[in-house]
Structure 1
Amino acid sequence: MNLNYILNGNLIKVWTKFVSASVVGVILSTIYTMVDGIFVGQGAGEAGLAGVNLAWPAVTIILGIGLLFGAGASSLVSIYIGQHNQDKAEQILGSVIKAILYVGIILMILGFVIADPIVKFLGATPDTYQYTKDYFLVIYMMAIPYLLANALNPLVRADGSPNLSMIMVGAGAIGNIVLDWLFVIELGWGTKGAALATGAGVILSTIIGLCYFLGGKSHLKLKREYFKINSSLLKEVIKVGFVSFMIQLSIGVVILLQNKIIYRYGNTADIAIFSVAGYTISLYIQLCVGISQGMQPLIGYHFGADSIKRMHKLLKITLIASIIIGIVLLTCLIYYGEYFIQLFGITPDLLPLAYKRTVIFCLGSPFIGIVYTMGAYYQSIHRNLEANIVSIGRSFVLQILFSILLPIYMGVEGIFYAQPFSDICSIFILGGVMLYSYIKYNNPID
């Protein structure tokens, strides 16, 4: 890693190198989930598709914990690299991987022991129960590689190897696609097959990441003397990464709530359409995540090196790119959405309704990138209060509020309007946070 080039080279080129690799990586990661939905919809029908959606709130717990460690550690590692403090960065790497092993074992045991009550709590009905349980059980049995894959990817990027982080996800995605076809379509294993294919993909990603830090060309090394939990550093990791965990957890809580509300006002077909809308918007959300994650180590390097003006220019570039991409993708959905929705096995009689609801669901897309970028920015410079308010305000507060209120007046349609309402209104929360940050630190974004 050429830190001098990152801190002094052409800003657009540096930004493009990190962000483009991160974006490609998260697009491939989204394919993990989306391909599951496509193959399950084709192989198991609307009940199978609904089963995956019902299980997803439980899956977000694993994703959130992985990002708790990965995002928190990568943010701190970036700053320590900018300060040329390699020992601290390597202690964080060792502490995080050791902690993940312990947490993964706990999740595997819990997943096996309490599977039935959890599946019932998630809202599975007789026609979706087995699909939901199969997906849930397999994912939780894969907890350790799932956690490691989600944590190692941002750490590889923070170590200055964005292209390898892209390869990690790409290799897993390709394996997932091939095995999805084999397990779900050819062997007819339903949601169990989809979860097994996903698990195989994350195992491959984990192997690549571990090999990189153990014997590859990494700047940081996973050393035996640091492969132990340093409680003080781990607390810092958790403190910084908490916002990433809460974002994922809030996604799960909101989906769980929305599933229950949809069943109150609708049926399994409505859940299947909601699942398709969720897959669709996740493509843009993951693009926002990719852009913000690509920006994060760059912000950390510059913050650690006290290069504040250049850091603010990176933030502006990221904001502009996020907004433009959101507008382009929404336009593509409006004109070509029906072709995309057909991939999920939605029956022709439901296709017009699914298209209408999906477009409504995604109307706030241009605003999402602003929120994710600013949340990642505040997280990178250790303004954890601002990061949490920006990110959790949109997901927990606004989405839950609108999800509860709108269906009272609009029925099941209200769930699909809740998403754009919360995306647009989140800008007002962001404005308040930026004003608070300006007043407290007298450090405007210039």
Structure 2
Amino acid sequence: MDIKDVLNSNIFKVWVRFILASVVGVVLNTIYTVVDGIFIGQGVGEVGLAGVNIAWPAVTLIVGIGLMIGIGTSSIMAIYMGKGKNKKAEKTLGTCISLIIIVGVTITILGLIFRGQIIKILGATPDTMQSAIDYYTIIFIIAIPYMFATALNPIVRTDGRPDLSMIMIGVGAVANIILDWLFVMKLGFGVKGAAVATSASIVISMTVSLYHFINGKATIKIKKENLKVDTTIVRRILKIGFVSFAIQISYGIILLTQNKTMFLYGSTIDVAIYTVATYVNCFLVNTCMGIAQGLQPLIGYHYGAKKYKRMNQFIYITICVCILGGVLVYSGIFAYGREIIRIFGVDSKNIEFAYKMILIYCIGSPIIGIIFTMSGYYQAIGKNIYANIISIGRGFVFQFIFTIVLPPFIGTTGVFLSLPLAELITFIILGVIVLIESRKKSITLLKNKSILINVL
């Protein structure tokens, strides 16, 4: 879609084109993450699920760096494209590509050299050690493709091709499901097979996106002369994208803390049930993240073009949809939670406990979308302090505090309760931020009116 069409076409048509494609892509991505969990649960069992969960905090480093570079780059590109400065957008993209390669090589080498020590730090026990190290090793081998696939997805949307972004993930998701079935269930490769299936899907997504920017019909192209790293652009990318990095890394730190807390106050079964809870919740969380990511280029385009009224309309539509979606998702979990849990191979004697814990863990569903939407909005317009407060508050600070404070009194239930409590406090803080910004705008408007009256 041409930038002029985005800025002037029917608002609902533009919203659906960008948001729907982003959400479908993220949902497909979530599906192949969850499919890993289903096949591991069915083919390996609860120990396999726990092993993957133990390795995942390290994997969030790769995902976090990819998102930081990708979201930062796409936000800068969107503003430049809104101003009609495509050459600067191409220079930004070139720096992004080089930055991924440099960082990716470093992460791969260090991650593989110290994998044994890292897995131990992450809390692997004798029964989960092999599963954790198998999954970790294969994912770190493809760290560079993983970063490319993660970073280029939002950039493809910003280039005006949300449909291609969806196709990238869709093709990868289908490949992952087929290969999971083959490697885990048929050939019996276990956790290692699931990691290989995921790796193959990531390489496919990376290949499609790189082809688009090199030989495809991209508006913004990858050009050799733009691949030299511009440190000024790097600083801007990292400053804007840090919120996305912080979300992923805080998730990894929280997961590490919660895994250790689970083992302290519970057992491998508790870790496995918590893993299932995160898989169930990730459908809504990732969908809301997809909505926010789809909205970001729209915010950037309109902010750059100074079309603020239309920009606000996009935000209002998004928030309403998120609230409705959250209510529907939680209703679905309430009605069919037990059936969902059984799919992951949890022992029948643990179903009722798992169901109760998942209901607690997901109770904040109606407000998650509002938090992600507003965090994405502040990130897109460069108000990184607000974006950091919202994202890091929800994903790390408050959840971390509750994870430490609650379990000594109520056991592992405190770990499951930490997320909804963190979301409630973050929602209250978000309300305060919105009121502060509204007041600032009112004061500025009154000052401008006063100046105009004095001039007249």
Q: TM-score, normalization: structure 2?
A: 0.96
User: In the alignment, is the contact (CA less than 8 A) between 1:393 and 1:429 conserved in 2?
Assistant: no
Q: Distance in 2 between matches of 1:74 and 1:128?
A: 39
- Measured in 2, the distance between the counterparts of 1:107 and 1:439 equals 44
- Contact between 1:70 and 1:151, CA under 8 Å: does it hold in 2? yes
Specify the alignment match of 2:450 in structure 1: none
* Residues 83-138 of structure 1 deviation map (CA, whole Å, 9 limit, x = unaligned): 00001100111100111011111111112110111000110101100000000111
- Offset, 1:266: 0.3
Question: RMSD of the TM alignment (CA)?
Answer: 1.1
Query: Equivalences for 1:20-419 in 2 at 5 Å?
Result: 20-419=20-419
Q: CA, structure 1 residues 222+279, in 2 after alignment: closer, same or farther (shift >3 Å)?
A: same
Deviation, structure 1 residue 356: 1.1
The alignment partner of 2:348 has SS state of coil
The Cα of 1:439 is off from its aligned counterpart by 4.1
Secondary structure of 1:349's aligned partner:
helix
In 2, are the aligned partners of 1:296 and 1:377 still within 8 Å (CA)?
yes
TM-aligned CA deviation for residue 162 of structure 1: 0.3
4+ residue stretches of structure 1 with deviation over 3 A?
438-444
Counterpart of 1:168, as a letter, is M
Counterpart contact for 1:262–1:271, Cα < 8 Å: yes
Name the CA shift for 1:80/1:155 in 2 (closer, same or farther; >3 Å).
same
Where 2:349 maps in the other structure, the secondary structure is: coil
2:451 aligns with none
In structure 1, the residue corresponding to 2:118 is in which secondary structure?
helix
Task: Quote how far apart the aligned CAs of 1:316 are.
Answer: 0.6
Match of 1:326, as an amino acid?
G
Deviation at 1:157, TM superposition (A): 0.2
* Contact 1:389–1:433, Cα closer than 8 Å, also in 2: no
- Work out the CA distance in 1 between the residues paired with 2:434 and 2:191: 43
Whether the 8 Å CA contact 1:265–1:411 is kept in 2: the answer is yes
Counting aligned pairs with the same residue, the percent is 49
Cα deviation, 1:394-427, whole Å, max 9, x if unaligned, reads 1111101111111121011111111111112211
Q: Secondary structure at the match of 2:125?
A: coil
Rounded Cα–Cα distance in structure 1 between residues aligned with 2:214 and 2:19: 25
Contact 1:365 1:423 in 2 (8 A): no
Secondary structure of the structure 2 residue equivalent to 1:160? coil
Distance 2:309 2:349 in 1: 55
Distance 1:225 1:4 in 2: 28
TM-fit CA distance, 1:440: 4.4
Evaluate the alpha carbon distance shift between residue 442 and residue 240 of structure 1 in structure 2; reply closer, same or farther with a 3 A threshold.
Answer: farther
Q: Describe the SS at the equivalent of 1:350.
A: helix
AA at the equivalent of 1:402: F
**1:260-284 CA distance string (max 9 Å, x none):** 1110000000000000001011110
CA apart distance, 1:441? 5.1
Query: Deviations along 1:299-322, whole A, 9 cap, x unmatched?
Result: 100000000010001011111111
Corresponding letter in the other structure for 1:292: A
Residue 221 of structure 2 aligns to a residue whose secondary structure is coil
One-letter amino acid matched to 2:102: Y
Whole-angstrom distance in 2 between the partners of 1:142 and 1:441: 47
1:442 Cα shift?
A: 4.7
Are the counterparts in 2 of residues 62 and 143 from structure 1 also a CA contact under 8 Å?
yes
How many Å separate the matches in 2 of 1:439 and 1:384?
A: 19
Distance (Å, rounded) in 1 between the aligned partners of 2:422 and 2:386: 18
Q: 1:351 to 1:443 in 2, by over 3 A?
A: farther
Distance 1:395 1:63 in 2: 15
Counterpart-to-counterpart distance in 2, 1:342 and 1:38: 10
8 Å contact from structure 2 (residues 393, 422) kept in 1: no
Larger C-alpha radius of gyration, 1 or 2? 2
Verify the 8 A CA contact 1:386 1:437 in the aligned structure 2: no
- Secondary structure, counterpart of 1:220 in structure 2: coil
8 Å contact 2:213–2:221 — kept in the other structure? yes
Distance 1:341 1:309 in 2: 44
Contact 1:89–1:220 (Cα < 8 Å) also in 2: yes
TM-score (norm 1): 0.98
In structure 1, give the amino acid aligned to 2:16. T
Per-residue deviation, residues 197-227 of structure 1 (Å, max 9, x unmatched): 1110010000000000001111011011101
Q: How many residues align?
A: 444
